[in-house]
Amino acid sequence: MARALISVTDKSGVVDFAQRLVSLGFDILSTGGTAKALREAGIAVTDVADITGFPEMLDGRVKTLHPMVHGGILGDRRLESHLTQMDQAGIVGIDLVCVNLYAFEKTVTGDHDLDEAIESIDIGGPAMVRAAAKNFHNVTIVVDPADYDRVGDALSAGSINALRMELSAAAFRHTAYYDSVIARYLSEAAGVDPLSGTVTMGVRKQLAMRYGENPHQVAGLYVDPLAKNGIAQAEQLWGKELSYNNLLDADGAWELVMDLVPNSCAIIKHGNPCGAAEMGSMAESYSAAKSSDPISAFGGIAAFHGVIDLAAAEAMTQPNNFLEVVIGLGFTNEAIEVFKNRKGWGQNVRLLVASASPTESYLTVRSIRGGVLIQGSDEDPGHEWQVVTKRQPSDNELAAMKLAWRMIPHVKSNAIVLTDDRQLLGVGAGQMNRVQSVRLALEQAGETAPRCALGSDAFFPFPDSIETAAAAGVKAVIQPGGSVKDDEVIARADELGITMVLTGTRHFRH
């Protein structure tokens, strides 16, 4: 008679699965809470302790780590030598292993201490899963309750052999993910350099997508269980399914607006801000942000630093507006109803509630063919600023510089922004030379340029950008410095009556 060993933390569906296995002629072996749940459902169960001759011990740390269990799982019944050794040792084969693991992830993402985390590390479970997955020619391994019906159907149809390699691969993904979470948790707890040696990062599928950046590309959203909350963990309240590009731009908008003050708004289009403002209310901030570049804002993603209220929703849903995604720390019921009742795009706009982004650095990962690049996120280290020109900035100019410097990390290099003390008025993004980015930003700012501070993500290699800005009336510049021609650039700023601040920090974004 076939034997199945069932020992699960997630008990959803396990009683029905066990009953189906019994109906197919399986004897059931089990442990602890799983055995109790099955017996309470009227299923006959043999305790693993009855076949090992040892009770559970060490507070449950040792249950299944025994040759009578692992010999039954690992024995290759295609080999006469294995069958002989199993017979001599009195080991009976186990044909199906149904195991999922202690909820380590749940423990460490809630309130806990280190001892609780350690006791949530499963040892016997992964050992059985890996043993069964290795021996998939003889043993069926099931780690996901979503597979119970499929496995039951295959067993009933006599086609389980065709499914076993796929289940084996799923099992190894299951244990690899589990171990990656433990490794990262303990590494962080021990203060280990996250980029020393091997980097493990398990992610779990959160959202299936119709396609990626383009219709011919496959894609999905995968969530890091140990990451701080961001757009990946946002709750969607309304609208169509999110796309790959929606999420990229939503992330950019959210990261920017979290660097701005409460009630602010940021609008992103194709990875760059086309508007941002810090006004007295979210409705005013949206209107000001949109006014910076209304053509680009059409079809953009708007993020708000606060709970989106009725007035903000009404401002966004005015005629000639269109937004793909709206993000906030929350929405009032009245605001949600405004979108729901808006004809046309209001039926599709994605409304997302996200948590405030933490300020500490995190690892960012980018793929290149054959590998990945990993670095810490771009969090400004707060170096002391230096006024390097003869003229000191006025209070308004300094306020505009501060706003420009909070916005510049969110613009693709070569990046130039023009801001007054409350809003973004010009952007030059992604150009191959810096002076061209200056020209684009000035063109967008138009006649507002004279009241703006100009921010640059990196140094000016020549005075030409300063000369171009001065010709448009710009009188304040903030930049990292670090060029071999800094002295020449500063001297030209003095000649043109420009006040200049060096921050000592570069903010490239590629």
Q: What is the rounded distance in angstroms from the CA atom of residue 460 to the CA atom of residue 454? A: 12
In the annotation, is 36 catalytic? no
In the annotation, is 507 catalytic? no
Identify the active-site residue in 11, 66, 134, 485.
134
Q: What is the rounded distance in angstroms from the CA atom of residue 115 to the CA atom of residue 103? A: 14
- Residue 75 near residue 93, CB atoms below 8 Å: yes
List CB contacts of 465: < 8 A, sequence separation 6 or more. 416, 434, 435, 438, 456
DSSP 8-state class, residue 374: E
Q: For the chain, how many residues are written?
A: 510
Beta strands in 16-120 (DSSP E): 27-30, 46-47, 96-99
Q: What is the rounded distance in angstroms from the CA atom of residue 258 to the CA atom of residue 356? A: 7
Task: Find out whether the peptide bond into 414 is cis, omega within 30 degrees of 0.
Answer: yes
H or E stretch at 428:
strand 424-428
Tokens read off for 317 = 């849903």
Which residue reads 């409350």 in tokens? 422
- Residue 227 near residue 358, CB atoms below 8 Å: no
Cα 76 to chain centroid distance, Å, stands at 41
Sign of CA dihedral 83, 87, 91, 93: positive
Identify the active-site residue in 66, 240, 270, 390.
270
H or E stretch at 404:
helix 395-407
Catalytic residue ranges: 134, 270
